[in-house]
Structure 1
Amino acid sequence: MLTDPRLIVPLDVPTLAEARAMVEAIGDGASFYKVGLELFATGEGMTLARELKAQGKQVFLDWKLHDIGTTVQRAASVLADVGCDFLTVHAEPQVLAAAVRGKGRSNLKILGVTVLTSLNDADLIEMGFSETARSLVERRIHHAIAAGADGVIASPHEAALARSIGGKDFLVVTPGVRPDWSAKN
């Protein structure tokens, strides 16, 4: 029996062999997998994405694209053609709009990364922002909506805010949510 289809299992391992073993061990326990930058950097991330799609799984490419519009648009177009389901880009207006153009009429869902969940208000001040993380998240949710993105990545602390601004059909993905008994790292 499949688990909740909203659960996305992160394949945050250093090798394709380890990712394949994890998928095999989980079996029918999950239908949605995240392929992050570590596997992308090995050169095997797209191999894995294609394999997962061939198995009928959903694929979330958590690559947080952040580049000039043309580059993001072309990358999103290629990933849409592969049949990937979710793609993350930084929630800045130009990046979001380019990714939305790149996905075209495909089923690829563009998710804007509002603020990296590892950053706090002090980090943002050090980076030159004058607003709190919550205020920046709110502003970037509005950027995502204006660009036509399908949703955002937001911490559990901002998920309700994203839902209230974006509405019921706006996707809100929260990373790192774990059972109470798991490690908190």
Structure 2
Amino acid sequence: MAAKDRIIVALDVPSLEQAGPLITSLAYYVWCFKIGLELITAEGGPQAVRFVQERGGQVFYDGKFCDIPNTVGNAAKAAAGLGVQMFNVHASAGVEAMMAAVANKWKALVLAVTVLTSLEENNAHLIFGGSSKAKVLQLARDAKIAGCDGIICSPQELELLGKQKELVGLLKVTPGVRPEWAATGDQKRVMTPAEA
């Protein structure tokens, strides 16, 4: 895998006007651009996807679908119909919801969100009744059973997941990777590129 195929740039900006320069300057050097809830809500999902594609970029549609299986399946069909490279669904929506997303993915990759990287260990215990690593492992196994192409997890879980034979072949996308000098924002479970 080429270095550029390991990089996803988050377009965490409030407008397409602000996203434009990032896309045109980086499209050749990265795998794809993540369009998240801020841009989806501010500009509209289909418009944001087309905007990136017209500038030579591929799209990771970060809609984090979490609903009943029928609704997740229909949302997956709509996202896939936009020609996105990948989209995600919350693994906590359940195996059936993830299966509905997979059944409607067309050519897109389906990624299952495990435990948000903004959650510290004490919050994971409050929400899930256990450690973040235990919950990530359980949700990753559920995602594999559902036929998802990959998962989204903290880079801190990569070593644990890499030891699980049943998870071989599952793509791992890690949003908490940034240089030491970069601000972490509200992400808590992060690593540098060298550590990851």
Which of 92, 98, 101 does residue 99 from structure 1 map onto? Answer: 101
Greater shift after overlay, 39-48 or 169-178?
39-48
In the TM superposition, what is the alpha-carbon distance from 1:62 to its structure 2 partner? Answer: 1.2
Map 1:143-154 onto structure 2 (within 5 A).
143-154=142-153
CA RMSD between the two structures: 1.9
In the TM superposition, what is the alpha-carbon distance from 1:67 to its structure 2 partner? Answer: 0.7
Tell me the SS of whatever aligns to 1:48. helix
Structure 2, unaligned stretches of length 5 or more? 186-196
Identity of aligned residues (%): 37
Stretches (4+) displaced over 4 A: none
Q: C-alpha distance in 1, partners of 2:113/2:151?
A: 6
What letter is aligned with 1:130?
G
The aligned residue for residue 78 of structure 1 is: 78
Map 1:35-50 onto structure 2 (within 5 A).
35-50=35-50
Map 1:88-127 onto structure 2 (within 5 A).
88-91=88-91, 92-103=94-105, 106-127=106-127
Maintained 8 Å contact 1:32/1:59: yes
Give the alignment's TM-score, normalised by structure 1. 0.88
Q: C-alpha distance in 1, partners of 2:184/2:162?
A: 25
Deviations 1:5-30 (A, max 9, x none): 21000000011111112212435333
The aligned residue for residue 33 of structure 2 is: 33
Tell me the SS of whatever aligns to 1:184. coil
Maintained 8 Å contact 2:121/2:132: yes
In the TM superposition, what is the alpha-carbon distance from 1:31 to its structure 2 partner? Answer: 4.2
Maintained 8 Å contact 1:72/1:102: no
Tell me the SS of whatever aligns to 1:70. helix
Structure 1, unaligned stretches of length 5 or more? none
Give the alignment's TM-score, normalised by structure 2. 0.84
